[in-house]
Chain A
Amino acid sequence: MPEQPGRSAIEVRGVRKVFGSGESQVAALDTVSVSIRENEFFTLLGPSGCGKTTLLRLIAGFDFPSAGEILLHGQDIAPLPPFKRPVNTVFQNYALFPHMTVAENIGFGLEMLGKPKAEVKARVAEMLKLVKMEALSNRRTSQISGGQQQRVALARALAPQPKVLLLDEPLSALDFKLRKEMQIELKRLQHETGITFIFVTHDQEEALTMSDRIAVMSAGKILQVGTPWDIYDKPAERFVADFIGETNFLTAAISGMGNGKARATLKSGATIDATVAEGFQPKDNATVVVRPEHAKLTSGKGDLSGTVENIVYFGTDTHIHVRLDSSESFTVRQQNTRSAGCGFERGDKVGISIGNDAAQVLRD
């Protein structure tokens, strides 16, 4: 990947984390390297057990890497205990101190840093305002709602002005509506404070809507790092394409490679233009992905042909499942209009045309 602009806040270099010993050894992180820029909203995305939380814990200092370095603005922080790192965490269960008030919770970090009383007070007031909790500053944390606890946890972690804020699935305990609200709130806080956010989630939609960049993780490895647009439209591997959104996988022969593009000859015989994932090694049969909304169903001949197997209505759009003549399956997403149906019925013989810039060749 070419060098991107912007100074890096966190630089993870060849980090391994192994749990257990001998035969039962498990590598939770398998030689991970990633660079997280200043002021960016960076998301670690992956299914549970992929190592995203382990990586976050290593950055926070709750665990130490088996090998590798973690640089914070160029300084290796991997051997430091958590209380010596200018990095704060918002925990999944918030971990608010139950014997303290909202204000005392928010002031805790500053108190521990030995800041003068007046400064702590001013900063706590500022934080209460930032998360709109002024009215509840003297409440116990057990007397406020889940969403409010979430705000207090955020304010508490932001109060000491950390260089990097770590968020460990902080929205997973909230109901749908509150979660949507907090997503916007988090983006606002990140923008207003200018602090680098590292956000861990298994929710691909959350990752796409909130992040500046996303790292997709699986089985202890980072598979791809990129903008939401990159990740969605130019997935590098099958796992990434499959984990994020819905997609169609087709087998194709690749020819005419050059400048990140190639010609892909599908089983139907049609040849389409495709972009090629980085690190692609030429081989006989490669996998090509096409998002359902980037293909069009026609009653005439297209790039592919098949039979309509199922039609699923989703309100905003309709998913039409097609069994291709090559026996692969393919889904087309079609925008709905008010007056007409989708125009097709089960059993119809249909063609599928794939847009000019719709196909991506995977590297695996």
Chain B
Amino acid sequence: MAKRPFDIQAQPGFGFMALLTFFALYLPIAALVTYSFNTADSLSRWDGVSLRWFISAWHNSAVQDASVRSLVLAVSAAALSTIAATMAALATTRTRPYPGLTFKYAFINQPLMVPEIVTGVALLIVFSRIKVWTGYSGLGYLIAAHTAFCIPFAYLPIRARLESMDLTLERAAADLYATPWKAFRFVTLPLLRPAIIAGFMLAFVISLDDVVITEFVKSGGQDTLPTYMLGQLRRETSPEINAIATVFLALSVVLVTAFYFVNRRKP
């Protein structure tokens, strides 16, 4: 193919800049993964390859506890936020545009705009009140908080899919005697399934990864994996953290890959 006059790839230094960017992005991660297999007791020494820290982390009851909590939290928050996001996406796309619709988009996406730290502090104040009134201090607060900030992430792929989906399909279903519920159940939902799964996985990853809001909202002894790791770093830097981070990374890669395949599959 002939080169276009303003082909960015033809500019001098393009290859170098690209390489530099990749190094900046992936060198720290590569270092982390490499050091997670380090046998040494310290992060600053290399003693050889072993799975020592993976095994140690696996048997650490605090890590086990935080992992289970993180998973329960992420699954609950992702499920709830995906349901809410699906309903929001249906309500904002399956209607004629009307004044105020743009405002609703902004409102749904608000958690993306407000700095996390602000939300964290706000939730801390509100939830501490509620904790006093109700006496309940379980995982519910974290699930509620995570659900709220996961909604916009789950909403985006679902809305995108609905917008590209032909409205006449639902009309055709109605024309063929499907009540609104049946039209949703047999036409909209099956066509929306890939986007819903994508939204769920996105929400899951976002919840799993959260530190700031979790740190403010959690009650004593409610560490998730990220807040546990943060806590560990404050005291001493154990190479166990590297191992946990590597497992985390692997999980993310698996999810993102799955996300890609689900999204690519056309019904």
Residues of A whose CB lies within 8 Å of any CB of B are 60-62, 81-83, 87-89, 91, 93, 95-99, 108-109, 112-113, 156-157, 160
Number of interface residues of B (CB under 8 A): 19
- Say yes or no: A97 contacts B169, CB within 8 Å: yes
Known: A89-B175, A157-B175. 15 other contacts (CB 8 A): A62-B174, A83-B174, A83-B176, A83-B178, A91-B168, A95-B171, A97-B172, A98-B191, A109-B177, A112-B176, A112-B179, A112-B182, A157-B176, A160-B176, A160-B177
Evaluate contact between A112 and B178: CB separation under 8 angstroms. yes
**Does B28 reach chain A (CB closer than 8 Å)?**
no
> Does B173 reach chain A (CB closer than 8 Å)?
yes
**Which residues of B come within 8 Å of A, CB atoms?**
166, 168-169, 171-179, 182-183, 186-187, 190-191, 267
**Taking A98-B191, A99-B190, A99-B267 as contacts, is the C-beta distance between A93 and B176 under 8 angstroms?**
no
Contact for B191 among A87, A91, A99, CB less than 8 A:
A99
- CB contacts (< 8 Å) of A83 on chain B: these are 174-179, 183
- Contacting residues, chain A, for B187 (C-beta < 8 A): 97
Contact B182 A91 (CB under 8 A): no
A93 and B186 alpha carbons, distance in the complex (Å): 20
Closest approach, in angstroms, between the C-beta of A130 and any C-beta of chain B?
17
Pull 30 A–B residue pairs with CB atoms less than 8 Å apart, ordered by A: A61-B175, A62-B171, A62-B175, A82-B171, A82-B175, A83-B175, A83-B179, A87-B175, A88-B175, A89-B175, A91-B171, A91-B172, A93-B166, A93-B168, A95-B169, A97-B169, A97-B173, A97-B187, A98-B267, A99-B190, A99-B267, A108-B186, A109-B176, A109-B177, A112-B178, A112-B179, A112-B186, A156-B176, A157-B175, A160-B177
Q: A215 to B122, alpha carbons, bound, how many Å?
A: 65
- Least CB distance from B95 to A in Å reads 14
Closest chain B residue to A159, Cβ basis? B176
Chain A residue contacts of B177, Cβ below 8 A? 83, 109, 112-113, 160
A154 to chain B, nearest CB (A): 13
Bound Cα distance from A60 to B172, whole angstroms:
10
Give CA–CA (A269, B99) in the complex, Å.
63
User: Which residues of the partner chain B approach A95 to less than 8 Å between Cβ atoms?
Assistant: 166, 168-169, 171-172
Question: How far does the Cβ of A280 sit from chain B's closest Cβ, in whole Å?
Answer: 41
Chain A residues within 8 Å of B168, by CB: 91, 93, 95
A60 (CB) vs chain B CBs: closest residue: B175
Tell me the bound Cα distance from A60 to B267 in angstroms: 28
Least distance between B211 CB and chain A CB atoms (Å): 40
Interface centre among A91, A93, A97, A113 (most CB of B within 10 A): A97
Chain B residue, CB-CB nearest to A114: B177
A141 to chain B, nearest CB (A): 11
Query: Measured between alpha carbons, how far is A132 from B190 in the docked complex, in Å?
Result: 28
Q: How far is the CA of A160 from the CA of B183 in the complex (A)?
A: 17
Across the interface, do B267 and A82 meet the contact criterion of CB distance under 8 Å? no
Residues of B within 8 A of A81 (CB): 174
User: What separation, in Å, do the CA atoms of A60 and B173 have in the docked complex?
Assistant: 12
Output the nearest chain B residue to A111 by Cβ-Cβ distance.
Answer: B186
A82 and B191: CB pair below 8 A? no
Q: How far is the CA of A93 from the CA of B165 in the complex (A)?
A: 13
Query: Which of B174, B179, B182 has the largest count of A CB atoms less than 10 A from its CB?
Result: B174
Q: Is the CB of B173 within 8 A of A108?
A: yes
B183 nearest CB across to chain A (Å): 8
Contact of A89 with B172 in the complex, beta carbons under 8 Å: yes
Q: Give the chain A neighbours of B175 by CB distance below 8 A.
A: 60-62, 82-83, 87-89, 157
The 8 closest A-B pairs by CB, nearest first: A109-B176, A95-B172, A112-B177, A95-B168, A82-B174, A112-B178, A99-B267, A89-B175
Q: How far is the CA of A60 from the CA of B186 in the complex (A)?
A: 21
Residues in B whose Cβ lies below 8 Å from that of A98: 169, 191, 267
Q: How far is the CB of B101 from chain A (nearest CB, A)?
A: 17
Cα–Cα, bound, A112→B170 (Å): 13
Shortest distance between the CB of A66 and any CB in chain B (Å): 16
Q: Tell me the nearest residue of chain A to B179, going by C-beta.
A: A83
A345 to B169, CA, bound (A): 58
Cα A82 to Cα B173 in complex, Å, equals 9
The residues of A that contact B169 with a CB separation of less than 8 Å are 95, 97-98
**Contact residues in B for A96 (Cβ distance below 8 Å):** 172
Give CA–CA (A91, B178) in the complex, Å.
Answer: 16
Nearest Cβ on chain B to A61's Cβ, whole angstroms: 8
Tell me, rounded to whole Å, the shortest Cβ–Cβ distance linking A94 to chain B.
9
CA distance A95 to B176 in the complex (A): 12
**In the complex, are the beta carbons of B166 and A88 less than 8 A apart?**
no
Residues of A within 8 A of B166 (CB): 93, 95
Cα separation A48 to B137 with both chains bound (whole Å): 64
B residues in contact with A87, CB < 8 Å? 175
A62 contacts across to B, CB distance below 8 A: 171, 174-175
Q: Complex Cα distance A152/B17, Å?
A: 55
On chain A, the residues within 8 Å of B178 by CB distance are 83, 108, 112
**A89 vs B176: C-alpha distance when bound (angstroms):** 8
Q: How far is the CB of B29 from chain A (nearest CB, A)?
A: 39
By beta carbon, the residue of chain B nearest A113 is B177
Contacts of B176 in A (CB 8 A): 83, 88, 108-109, 112, 156-157, 160
